[in-house]
Structure 1
Amino acid sequence: MSILNRPSDGLFNILVVFARCLAQHGSMDRGKLIKVCAPVSAVDSQERAKQTLNNWIQLGLLNDKEGKISIDRSLSSEIKKTFEHGHLALACRQRVLAVENNQRFWEAEDNGSSDFCRAASWMLAQNVFDVEVVGHKAVEEIEVQQLREFSAFTNDTRWAGFKAWASFLGFGWIGRYPNKNTFVIDPTTAVSESLAEVFGKSKELAQEQFFRTLADVLPVIDGGVYRSQVEEKIDRASWKEPKSSEISTSLSRALSRLHEREEIQLENRADAIKRTLLGRNNRPLRNVSHIIWKGGKK
């Protein structure tokens, strides 16, 4: 079981159909669910649907109790009721990043969702202004320079799988510049959808607490446990590591966009410990001492 090898691990668009069906109709026999969501009249083979279903049962999003498939009980009632795109992506992201699905973090096979978390951690560590790639060949050239002990993407199939899942899970998107089908590293959506959990009942956090908590929720971003493990294996001769007082260009991009969208307010207060957001050519964008969430309780 893994995530990125879509021919054997399944597709997110099939998962969306399963989730919406179960949210609307409740638990359903496995055979009936497959027939309803992947009828033989509409698909050449039901094998991909079966693979997707099995994978997400193992990852804990769905349950299989004596052949009855249901949405996992641990998901909030709101998510189970609606399963809108954003809610489903949030639920999937939580399962993909879960510790229990990353126990075999460095294994090539049967690694749960570790293949995605390794790849996402590495991509988010890159300078987002230098790395905007289309095909596997371009990203492989960077891998060869930076990675000696593991490969983020062993082939084009897994690269395509990463682009699809990373876009769905909120860690990037597909652009048209400088080339069509360019993958743009951008965790804005993932960060935005994590703010409620990060802030809790607060509306304001000092930067130390904000970044520490965000890394707990999204362990593939700066300071996260998965990110730290991957960064340890990157060749420093080919990769510029941000200083402890700096925020990576990927997370800086997300926070800057959220600030401009007025979801958060980045403040630089005198006599407070600060961290620096980085822009193009690693130039400082702004210093941040406190983060205010516009959705926090007054």
Structure 2
Amino acid sequence: MSMINNAHPGSSLVLLNLIDRVLLRKNKLVSRTELLEVLRPELLPKLSPKKKKDDEVDEVDDSDGTAMRRFEWNLDFWLKEGLWLQDDAGMISVSSGATQRNLPERVLELIIDNAKSQTDQEILDEKNTEPFFRAMTCLLVQQSYTFMGGETVLPGKNGSAQKAVNRWLPGERSLNLSNELPTFLQYGDFLGFLEPFGSGYIVDPTRAIEPYLKVVFASESKLSLNIFIERLAEKLPLLDGGRFRRLLEPMMEELGWSPREVHQVSPSLSHALVRLESAFRLRLDQASDDNSSMQLQLPEGKHRFVSEVVYLSEVNA
């Protein structure tokens, strides 16, 4: 069942944040019974879906117990994925180093790690967390919905989200307009791949990338841009050169997508790198005698050649 289908377990960002916050505040092993008592139905958000005009979702009362069932479904989904720990006695806790602030980072790292054991065909066809990976990878590939492309990903019946995603994911891989696309966009924002812009979203993976900078550089302070992108793709396979990109880009090309040149960085990653430089997290350099430099894509058809990436310490950030 798809994580991004709002009728399925794992889809509620409200409950994900709520359960995690309770576990963090308890700061101890918590029984399932205690969690159910703390988050009993009358305290839960009204999450029972009811279709309205234009495929929007309204909140209605919980007289049929839907909120409690959704709570248990979401709890069990993320326990199975491994976000929270559960011992043999059924006591639940958060992992070491967990904070309320790093929940998006923890969730993203978890679902990517869980996907590493899957076959390529499972990545392409399964319906757990895979629909998010497929749809977000397709968005990250395209220029249209970045700042330089000028278009926004708009939700709703007449929005651009369906075209932006399903144009490249036909058949059973496409996302449902009412149950999946809205939740997909919410997860894209939550996990740091999309930024709210006007009434929609712009594709911008800056927030998803930033937590990985330290581990990508390891003990080094400077990397060639090629090596930086390779290491980043190992951590975030939705980005340039990553496993998900290698699986989906050939399929998109068959459907009419034009691949970038080998020396070109994708528009979405280009924007993220420039934004990280503006935030003093990175410095992008061009060595005059370096033939291996790559081209960042910038607004208004401009570009910039970069050969080295310097990691600026958090003290100086």
Q: CA-to-partner distance for each residue in 1:216-258, whole Å, 9 max, x for gaps?
A: 0111011110121111210356322111100111111111111
Q: 2:186 is aligned with what amino acid?
A: A
1:21 corresponds to 2:37? no
3-state SS of 1:160 partner: helix
Which of the residues 284, 290, 296 maps onto 2:308? 290
Q: Is the 8 A contact 1:19 1:71 kept in 2?
A: yes
* TM superposition shift of 1:13: 2.5
Q: Is the 8 A contact 2:280 2:312 kept in 1?
A: yes
Q: Is the 8 A contact 2:206 2:272 kept in 1?
A: yes
Q: How many residues align?
A: 282
Which of the residues 142, 155, 166 maps onto 1:135? 155
Structural RMSD (CA): 2.3
Which of the residues 28, 35, 38 maps onto 2:37? 35
3-state SS of 1:6 partner: coil
1:95 corresponds to 2:110? yes
Instruction: Tell me the distance in 2 between the aligned counterparts of 1:100 and 1:239.
Output: 25
Q: Is the 8 A contact 2:285 2:306 kept in 1?
A: yes
Instruction: Tell me the distance in 2 between the aligned counterparts of 1:144 and 1:19.
Output: 32
* TM superposition shift of 1:78: 2.7
Q: What residue number does 2:285 align with?
A: 267
Q: What residue number does 1:161 align with?
A: 183
| Pair 119,237 (structure 1): closer, same or farther in 2 beyond 3 Å | closer
1:61 corresponds to 2:83? yes
Q: CA-to-partner distance for each residue in 1:112-160, whole Å, 9 max, x for gaps?
A: x111111111110111215412125523334554445653423332111
* TM superposition shift of 1:39: 2.2
Which of the residues 257, 266, 269 maps onto 1:251? 269
1:278 corresponds to 2:306? no
Instruction: Tell me the distance in 1 between the aligned counterparts of 2:114 and 2:251.
Output: 20
1:191 corresponds to 2:209? yes
Q: CA-to-partner distance for each residue in 1:68-96, whole Å, 9 max, x for gaps?
A: 11224xxxx332xxx122x1111111012
* TM superposition shift of 1:16: 1.7
In structure 2, stretches of 5+ residues that fail to align are: 45-61
| Pair 54,231 (structure 1): closer, same or farther in 2 beyond 3 Å | same
Instruction: Tell me the distance in 1 between the aligned counterparts of 2:70 and 2:246.
Output: 34
Q: TM-score, normalised by structure 2?
A: 0.82
Q: TM-score, normalised by structure 1?
A: 0.87
In structure 1, stretches of 5+ residues that fail to align are: none
Instruction: Tell me the distance in 1 between the aligned counterparts of 2:206 and 2:91.
Output: 36
Q: What residue number does 2:59 align with?
A: none
Q: Is the 8 A contact 1:276 1:284 kept in 2?
A: no
3-state SS of 1:232 partner: helix
Instruction: Tell me the distance in 1 between the aligned counterparts of 2:155 and 2:111.
Output: 24
Which of the residues 57, 74, 78 maps onto 1:52? 74
* TM superposition shift of 1:261: 1.4
Q: 1:118 is aligned with what amino acid?
A: R
Q: Is the 8 A contact 1:267 1:291 kept in 2?
A: yes
Instruction: Tell me the distance in 2 between the aligned counterparts of 1:99 and 1:132.
Output: 31
| Pair 296,114 (structure 1): closer, same or farther in 2 beyond 3 Å | same
Instruction: Tell me the distance in 2 between the aligned counterparts of 1:241 and 1:98.
Output: 27
Q: 1:67 is aligned with what amino acid?
A: G
3-state SS of 1:247 partner: coil
Instruction: Tell me the distance in 1 between the aligned counterparts of 2:137 and 2:117.
Output: 13
